[in-house]
Structure formats: C-alpha cells, structure tokens
Amino acid sequence: MSKKKIVLTVIASALCGSMLTVLAAGVFLRSAGIYGDDVLRLFGVMKFIQSRYVDAPDTSVLVDGAIDGMVASLGDPHSVYMPPEVFRTLRQQTEGSFGGIGVTMGFKDGTVKIISVLDGTPGAAAGLRAGDEILAVDGIPTNELPSEEVALRIRGEVGTQVTLHILHDGAEQDVTITRDVIQVHSVRGVMVDGTTIGYIRIASFAEHTGDEFAAEMARLGEAGMTSLILDLRENPGGLITSCVAVAEQIVPAGPIVSVINRDGDTEVYRSHLSARKYPIAVLIDENSASASEILAGALQDTGAATIVGTTSYGKGSVQAVMPLFHDDGLKLTIAKYITPNGRSIDGTGITPDIAVDRTPADTTDVQFEAAKKYLEEHPNL
C-alpha cells in the first residue's frame, strides 16, 4: 500500500473514531426527538478538534467560542456573549463605580460613536464630545473588536492610561486619557435662572434612577417649580425597571410600555398616577435610545409632555442578561416594545413634536431654549 493511501486511511480512521461515540449518542437523542443533525455536527466537530488538533485545546475555550459564534450569527448588535471581564464591566455599569473615562458609546452601522460624556470625568477633561467616533483603542481598530470588548478595553485599573484614536470635528487624532473612578450618578436637577421652570437631566437609567428622580422632583417642587424640562439627550437607556419607576411619577394612569415576546405574549407596565403635576417639555436627540425612548414615547402618546429636539436613536428591543457558569454572561434580545399608542419605534425612533437641530456653530443650547420658550408660552398645559 502506498504511503499516500496509508495516510488517507489513518485520517479517515481517526475521523470515524472521533465521531463514532458522538454519532451513537446522537442517534439515541434523535430517536427521542431532542436533537437534530445540526447538534450532531456541532459536537462532532468539537470531538474531532479535541482529539486531533495539533495543540490540545481547552474545552471551555471551545465552548466559549461556540456560544460567541451562535450569538454573533443572530446579526443583532444588542445580543452578545460576554466573557467574565466584560460581564463584570456590565454589572459595574448599572450597580456601582468603576475605572474608566466617563463616556457612553453607541454601536451602529459598524461604527463606535460617543453618545454622552459625563461631567467632571477624564473624558470630559480630554475634550471628548458626543458624536466623536472612536476608530481605535490602544492601536487596535474598533472594527476588529466586538462592541462589548471595546468598552472593556477602554475601562481598566484606576490610574492607568488608554489611548483613543478618534474622529473629532472631521479630523483624526490620538487622545491619551488616565482612567479614574467613575461614579454613576444618573440624575441631576436645577431651577432655570429667573424662572419657575425646573430642569432635570437623566444621563442613564441605572439601578437607583427612580429614587434619584423622585428626590430631585421633590427638591425642585419645594423650590417653587411650576413646569419641567426633562433632558433625555445622549441618554443610551439602561434598566427598563428604572425607566418605569420614573414614568410612574410623570405619566398619567394607563400603559407606559408593552413588551411583546416572540410568542406574542405581552407584559404591560402601567402607571397609576392620577394626573401629572406639571407641564413638561422633553429634550431628545439622535443619541436618546432604548429606555429613554420608552419614557419619551409614553409621555408623547399620553399627551403628558411635548417632545423637543431631533429624532431619537430607534432601539425598540428589550434584552435579558443571563449569568452563565464561568462568571460569564449572555445579553440576548428577547422582546420588542411598543408605546401606549401601539407604536414600534425600532429603527425609526421618536419624532419630536417640535423639531430643533443643533449645529457646532450654535452659541447657545438652542434645543433647551426652545423647550424653555414653549413652557413659558404654555404655562397651564
């Protein structure tokens, strides 16, 4: 027998031997109607890799890769597999403080753009602004990284540095920033000078946003507030439960949002507020997404507020976060939501009642001024 035939025979024997156990088990499972050919292919390939790959692989790493590939194949940027470091980062984002630069990013059409920059953070001190595009992190192009890994690489140990290659005002530049502890304070409020208009900005919907919003509403009410500007610009969303906690304080009794899963089952979140207390103008922009769109949509549909600004981002889906067994996790789109009037804004966004664009040439916040003027002209809505 020729050497070529011997080699082919060895390879064929190895392949058959590697697959035999899995195939036998698969036949049994298929007879029970549990698994199909696709599962046999998956475990057959895994068994072959384990037995024949030139370097002995780590089985856990193989499983991680398989999960990551499955989720990536959905083509949904909001569904991601999160290895332990990324999953830890996600928990920190909604629960506490972390080492970072103080920016929130949006991932759309293959680009990474800054949605918001927290005041008093290293990102703000470095001159980063909403709309800046992040092209690379420490020399690694962002288009070569999963979205969650971009965030992971920007965050890190307090006192260490990260270099971002960004597109800022049409020009590319490198910005080196020293990470610091970022405290997540999602709500702040002030009285507008010379008026009885209150102003509250919600930067994101984190764990305690509902309580923070209630405290600011009470404080401004005691200061004489008679109407409210609610600023949801550059708000990327967050926890739907926190969004509902805010909505319950300003949306009149009735539906806030309806969440519909793949089977058509619907969960309706409702407000029991007898009536709104103040006229409200809501500021949104193209970076207002997810939970901020839920709140703006509920206020718009119920006539409880007038929406001012530019059309929002258009993220009308709901994700569930599931811890796995190795300190990793899965974030998966499990439902879509509709506003009280039955609107799905996924891909279209919330259209403002009063459209006001911003440009770099503006010397004042024209959207804020438009909201203020509207409330001054309509004090008893």
Residue 305: give its domain's CATH number.
3.90.226.10
Q: How many CA atoms lie within 13 A of 112 on its CB side?
A: 23
Per-residue confidence band for 140, with pLDDT thresholds at 50, 70 and 90: very high
Confirm whether 64 is a catalytic residue. Answer: no
Confirm whether 301 is a catalytic residue. Answer: yes
- The active-site residue out of 79, 186, 227, 290 is 290
Instruction: Give tens-digit pLDDT for 198-212.
Output: 999 998 898 899 999
Residues 51 and 7 placed together within one structural domain of the fold: yes
Residues 193 and 175 placed together within one structural domain of the fold: no
State yes or no: pLDDT of 14 exceeds 50.
no
* 126 within 8 A of 161, measured Cβ to Cβ: no
Look at residue 176 and tell me if it is in a domain: yes
* Residue 212 backbone phi and psi in degrees, to 5: -65, -40
Look at residue 133 and tell me if it is in a domain: yes
Instruction: Give tens-digit pLDDT for 310-346.
Output: 999 999 998 888 999 888 999 999 999 999 999 999 9
The tally of domains found in the chain comes to 3
Query: Domain of 178: which CATH number?
Result: 2.30.42.10
Output the pLDDT for position 55: 93
Q: Which of 3-7, 20-24, 195-199, 270-274 has the lowest mean pLDDT?
A: 3-7
Tell me 143's DSSP state.
Answer: G
- The active-site residue out of 301, 312, 328, 331 is 301
Residues 232 and 264 placed together within one structural domain of the fold: yes
What CA–CA distances, in Å, run from 193 to 198, 199, 223, 225? 9, 10, 12, 12
pTM for the predicted model, two decimal places: 0.68
Tell me 252's DSSP state.
Answer: B
Per-residue confidence band for 43, with pLDDT thresholds at 50, 70 and 90: confident
Percent of the chain beyond pLDDT 90?
60
CB 227: neighbour CB atoms within 10 A?
23
Residues 325 and 217 placed together within one structural domain of the fold: yes
Domain stops at, among 82, 116, 137: 82
Identify the bridge partners of residue 64 per DSSP, sorted by sequence position: none
Look at residue 191 and tell me if it is in a domain: yes
Residues 105 and 208 placed together within one structural domain of the fold: no
Bridge-based pairing of strands 354-355 and 306-309 is parallel
Residues 177 and 242 placed together within one structural domain of the fold: no
**Which domain covers residue 22, as residue numbers?**
3-82
Q: Which of 238-247, 290-299, 355-364 has the lowest mean pLDDT?
A: 355-364
Q: At what angle do helices 291-301 and 240-250 cross, to 10 degrees?
A: 30
Bridge-based pairing of strands 161-168 and 133-137 is antiparallel
Per-residue confidence band for 381, with pLDDT thresholds at 50, 70 and 90: low
Output the pLDDT for position 261: 93
* 283 within 8 A of 367, measured Cβ to Cβ: yes
Look at residue 35 and tell me if it is in a domain: yes
Output the pLDDT for position 24: 54
Output the pLDDT for position 88: 77
Output the pLDDT for position 180: 92
- Amino acid at the residue 164: L
Averaged confidence pLDDT in the chain? 87
* Strand, helix or coil for residue 130: coil
- Taking residues 273-281, what's their average pLDDT? 93
Instruction: Give tens-digit pLDDT for 119-129.
Output: 789 999 999 99
Residues 173 and 198 placed together within one structural domain of the fold: no
Distance CA 241, CA 201 (A): 18
Residues 269 and 200 placed together within one structural domain of the fold: yes
Confirm whether 231 is a catalytic residue. Answer: no
- The active-site residue out of 47, 113, 315, 372 is 315
∠ CA 252-253-257, rounded to 5°: 90
Look at residue 89 and tell me if it is in a domain: no
Residues 207 and 140 placed together within one structural domain of the fold: no
* Strand, helix or coil for residue 310: coil
Distance CA 41, CA 27 (A): 12
Nearest to 332 by CA among 81, 50, 30: 81
What CA–CA distances, in Å, run from 155 to 103, 236, 240, 359? 10, 18, 24, 30
Which letter, b or e, does each residue of 145-173 get, where b requires 16 or more Cβ atoms within 10 Å of its Cβ? bbbbbbbbbbbbeeeeebebbbebeeeee
∠ CA 57-60-62, rounded to 5°: 60
Please give the residue that has the higher pLDDT: either 305 or 157. 305
Identify the bridge partners of residue 282 per DSSP, sorted by sequence position: 230, 307
Residues 238 and 284 placed together within one structural domain of the fold: yes
Residues 241 and 135 placed together within one structural domain of the fold: no
Residues 73 and 127 placed together within one structural domain of the fold: no
Nearest to 353 by CA among 330, 325, 381: 381
Output the pLDDT for position 158: 87
